[in-house]
Amino acid sequence: MALSLSGDDEEYDSECEQQQRAANRPKQPQQQQQQPQPKMGTSSAAVKLPSNRSSSGARRRRTRCRKCEACLRTECGECHFCKDMKKFGGPGRMKQSCIMRQCIAPVLPHTAVCVVCKEAGKEDTLEEEEDKFNFMLMECSICNEIVHPSCLKVSDASGVVNDELPNCWECPKCNHAGKSGKQKRGPGFKYASNLPGSLLREQKPVKEEGDVVSSAAKRRPDREETPRPEDKLRKKRKLFDDDEDEDLGVRKKEKSDDPYFSKLLHQIKTEEDDEDAYEEENEEGREPHFRGGVERKGRLGDAEEEGDDRDSRNELLNPFIKTPVGDSDQSHCSSPQAGPSSEGGSETQEKGQRPKARRKRRLPNRELSRELSKALNQEIQKTEDCLANENRQPLKVEPETENEEPKKLFRNGSELGDQRPHLKTKEMNGTPWELRHFYPSPITPLGFNRSTPTNRPAPPHSPPKCVQMERHVIRPPPISPPPDRLPLKDGKTHVIQREVWMKIFGYLTHQELCVCMRVCKTWNRWCCDKRLWTKIDLNRCTSITPLMLSGIIRRQPVSLDLSWTNISKKQLSWLINRLPGLRVLKLSGCSWAAVSALCTSSCPLLRSLDVQWVEGLKDAQMRDLLSPPTDNRPGQLDNRCKLRNVEDLRLAGLDITDTSLRLISRQMPLLSNLDLSYCNHINDQSVNLLTAAGTTTRDSLTEINLSVCNRVTDHSLNFFKRCGSICQIDLRFCKQVTKTACERFIAEMSVSVPFRLKEDKLLQKSS
C-alpha cells in the first residue's frame, strides 16, 4: 500500500480509510449493522489504504527496527498480548507484539520504494550526509508519500523532518501547501494510543470533526480547502489556554549568550550551512533555544530571549517535536537506533538544499525553573504559531529544529496551552541511576518539619490542566547521534570525536547542556543524547504540561522526580506506561489521586519509589498500590505486586499502620531501604512485622528510617537484632527511644556485627 501512495487516491474520499478497514472486518456482529461501507469495496487492505488518503498515498505500515532496546527484548510472556499468543497458551486473536517489545523507532519496510523513481532507499551507498538524506526514503506524515528527497522537484520548498520517527517528514509539497502536520503522528503508532494505558487517544482520522486537520491532510486535492491547522491550534489553546501568547512576540534570538562559545561557533560549519534555517533556529533559539532557554532561564535568566526559551520548552514540552531536519540530523535522531532505513538517513546533516528540512528538538530537562517554565509556555505558544505558519513556509534545513513534532503535539494535543512548568534540571548526566535514595527530597524528615511531622509542605497546587495528549509517537533521542565529528566552516571536521565531546558533556549540568545545544546543530544533537538525561528532575515544578511529558518520554529517563508537582493521574499514568526502563520514581508531595496511577500500571523495573507526604495515602491506598494491577488494560495484567522489585521505598509522613507494613513485608521481597519517618502510626508492632520470621524484609532490609516516629520505643531495637542485613537504623527524634537502649543494642550486636552511633539514636553499622 504504502507505495502506492499517491496517485490513485484521489478517487477515494478521505473517509474511506476508516471504512476500508471496516470493510475488512467481516466478522463482527454489530458491524454488519453499521457496516461501514466498503467504499472501497474491496477489501483488500492494501487497496483500501490508499484510498483513504485521498490526496496522498496510504500510509505505509512500518515495521520494527530490530535494533532498539524494545526490539531486542524477549517477550515478557506476561502482558496481555503475550498471553494472547498461542505460544503462551492464548487464542492468538489479538496478534499484537509484546508490550515490552513495542519498537521505539519503527522503520519503513524494506519493500518501501520511492513513489517517483520506484526505487528503494539508497543512502547506504553514499557517504555524504547530504547525499544520504537526499537518497533515503522519506515518508511524509501528511500525504504519506514516500520519496527520495532528491526525486522531488520542488525547489524552494523545504520539508520538515521528524526526528522522532525514522524516515519521516512533512514533505516540501505539503509543507509548502501549508498543510499542517495534522495530527497524524506519522507512522509510528502503537506507542501512543494503542498501548494499553496510553492516555493519548487516537485520533480517529476522518471521523471526528475535530480532526479537521487530519482529514484535510488526507485529501490531497483539496489541500487548500482543508481546514487549517490553526483552527485546531486555537481550539487547543483554549483548552489549555496559555498565557503565553504574548511571549510569542518576544522571542528572539539569543545568539550571543555565551560569548564563550562564540568563537567556536564561528568555526562551526553547521550553522553556516543551514544558514538561514539554522541560524534562525539557533539564533532564534528554536531548537537551541528551547534548550538554551531552559538553561538560561534557569541560570542565565534572560539571556535568551525568546528564542531560547522556546527551544527549551519545546524540547521539554514537545517531545514530539522533531528536530529540524535540516541536515541529516533528522534522520539520525529519529532513528538513531532504529532500523535500517533510518540509519541511512540519519546522517544528512546538512545537506542542503534540496529539500530542506528542519527539525526541532526538545529537551526534557529537569532543571526547568519557573522561569523556564514560563519561557516554555511562551515557546509553546510560539511554536504553535510557528507551526501554523511554518506549515506554509518552507523551512530550511536545520539541524535541530523541532518543529515537526511539536506541531503534532500542538495540534493534537494540547500542548500548546499548557502550562509549562519549569523543569529544573539538575545534573543528571551520566549519573547512574542507581541511586537508591532520594536525596533531594525536600521533605527530609529531619529536615524541616521535624517538629511537625504531620504537616506537609503544601504542594503546589495547580489544577492540572487537562492534558490531552494526542497520540503522538514519542521517541527517545538517539544514542550517539551523528555526525562523528564537528563540521567546520572550512569543510573540514574538528579533530575531537563525538564520543570525546560526549564525555565532556557528561560533566555539564543540564543547564549547561542547554547552552551547548544552542551552539550549533551538531552540538544540539549531541547534547540531546539520552545518556546525558538519565535523570530528570521536575521537583516542585508547578505545572506539568503535556509537552513536558512528551519531553520526558523522549528522553526515557531512568530516574524521574515529580515530587511536589501537581501532576495528574492521567499524566502520571501516561508517563509510566511509556517509561518501561524507569527505575527511580519520586512522587513525594503529590496527591494520592495522581499517585494512584501506579495502581493501574505495572512498573516491573521500578527499584525506588518515593511517595512521601502523599496526601491521602493511607492503608487502603497502600493496599491498592501493592496489590496486583487491577486494570484491564492489555499488558497490564499481572498477578504479582506491581512494586515487587522495589528496593527503596519512601513512605515518610504517611498515616499508615501495621496493615500496610504487613503488606509490604509480604509483597516487597527486595526491599532494602525503607523510610517510615514521620509516620505517627508506626510502632513497635510495626517493626515486629517487618522483622518477623518468615518475612523477606527481615533479611532484605539494610536501612530503615524511623525518625520522628513517636510510637516506636526501645523495644523495637530488639526486633532489629534479627535482621541479618541491617546496616542503618534511624531512630532520631523518636521520643520513646532512649540513648541507653541504642547503646545496649550496639553492645549486644557487637559480637557479630559492629554498630556505632553515628548521631544520637542513629545507629549505623561500622564496617
Q: Which 58-87 positions form the footprint of DNA (CB under 7 A)?
A: 59-64, 66, 75, 80, 84-87
Cβ-Cβ contacts under 8 Å for 516 (sequence gap 6 or more)? 261, 505, 508, 523, 524, 527
CB closer to DNA out of 80 and 374? 80
Of the listed pieces 109-117, 556-564, 579-587, 676-684, which binds DNA according to CB under 7 A?
109-117
Rule CB under 7 A: is residue 25 a binding residue for DNA? yes
The residue among 110 and 735 lying less far from DNA, judged by its C-beta, is 110
Q: Which of 134, 175, 193, 702 binds DNA (CB under 7 A)?
A: 193
**Spatial CA neighbour of 494 closest among 260, 278, 265, 268:** 268
By beta-carbon proximity to DNA, the closer residue of 43 and 738 is: 43
Task: Give the nearer residue to DNA in terms of CB position, either 310 or 472.
Answer: 472
Q: Does 718 bind DNA (CB under 7 A)?
A: no
The residue with cell 501495621 is: 658
Query: What are 75's three cell numbers?
Result: 517477550
In the list 7, 11, 35, 499, the residue contacting DNA (rule: CB under 7 A) is 35
The residue behind cell 496481555 is 80
Q: Which is nearer to DNA, 158 or 601 (CB)?
A: 601
Candidates 12-20, 345-353, 529-537, 725-733; binding stretch for DNA (CB under 7 A):
12-20
CA–CA separation, 141 and 179 (whole Å): 10
Give the Cα-Cα-Cα angle 455, 585, 72 (nearest 5 degrees): 170
Tell me the DSSP string of 189-246: -TTTTTSTT--SBPPPTTT-GGGHHHHHHH-STTTTTSPPHHHHHHHHHHHH--STHH
In contact, 67 and 334? CB cutoff 8 Å: no
Answer yes or no whether residue 633 interacts with DNA by CB under 7 A: yes
With CB under 7 A as the contact rule, the residue among 6, 54, 55, 102 that binds DNA is 102
Question: Does residue 634 touch DNA according to CB under 7 A?
Answer: yes
Find the binder of DNA among 93, 463, 751, 752 (CB under 7 A).
Answer: 93
Of the candidates 397, 393, 395, 390, the residue with the CA atom closest to the CA atom of residue 352: 397
Identity of the amino acid at 356: K
The secondary element (H helix, E strand) that includes residue 609 is: strand 608-610
The Cα–Cα gap between 52 and 74 comes to 35
Identity of the residue, 299 or 570, whose beta carbon is nearer to DNA in the bound complex: 570
Q: How far apart are CA 342 and CA 148, in angstroms?
A: 13
Please report which helix (H) or strand (E) contains residue 388, including its range.
Answer: helix 370-392
Contact 319, 546 (CB under 8 A): no
The CB-of-45 to DNA minimum distance in angstroms stands at: 2
CB of 452 to DNA, least distance (A): 39
Whole-angstrom distance, CA of residue 370 vs CA of residue 423: 7
Q: Which three cell numbers stand for residue 162?
A: 521528524
Residues 635-674 that bind DNA (CB under 7 A): 636
With cell 554498630, the residue in question is 755
Residue 472 binds DNA (CB under 7 A): no
8 binds DNA (CB under 7 A): no
**126 near DNA, judged by CB under 7 A:** no
**Residue span 211-250 as binding mask against DNA, x where in contact by CB under 7 A, dash where not:** ----------------------------------------
CB nearer to DNA: pick between 15 and 272: 15
The strand pairing partners of 535, in sequence order, are 559
Distance of closest approach, residue 336 Cβ to DNA, in angstroms: 18
C-alpha cell at 145: 508519500
**Which listed residue (8, 10, 46, 685) binds DNA by CB under 7 A?**
46
573-592 residues in contact with DNA (CB under 7 A) are: none
How near is the Cβ of 23 to DNA at its closest, in Å? 7
Instruction: Give the distance from CA 372 to its chain's centroid.
Output: 18
Applying CB under 7 A, which of residues 98, 120, 553, 585 lies at the interface with DNA? 98
Footprint of DNA on 688-717 (CB under 7 A): none
Which amino acid is residue 118, in one-letter code?
A: K
Q: Does 36 bind DNA (CB under 7 A)?
A: yes
For DNA, give the closer residue by CB, 35 or 262. Answer: 35
The DSSP call for residue 537 is E
Q: Is 335 in the site for DNA (CB under 7 A)?
A: no
Q: How many residues bind DNA (CB under 7 A)?
A: 75
Q: Which residues of 363-375 are buried (b: 16+ CB within 10 A; e: fewer)?
A: bbbbbbbbbbbbb
Which range touches DNA (CB under 7 A), out of 54-62, 612-620, 665-673, 754-762? 54-62
Q: Contact with DNA (CB under 7 A): which of 88, 116, 126, 204?
A: 204
Binding DNA (rule: CB under 7 A), the pick from 122, 190, 382, 420 is 190
Detail the DSSP E strand segments found in 468-522.
485-487, 493-497
Question: Cell triple for residue 638?
Answer: 499481572
Binding residues among 612-631 for DNA as defined by CB under 7 A: 631
Choices 27-35, 274-282, 381-389, 651-659; region in contact with DNA by CB under 7 A: 27-35
CB of 408 to DNA, least distance (A): 14
What's the distance, CA 64 to chain centroid? 19
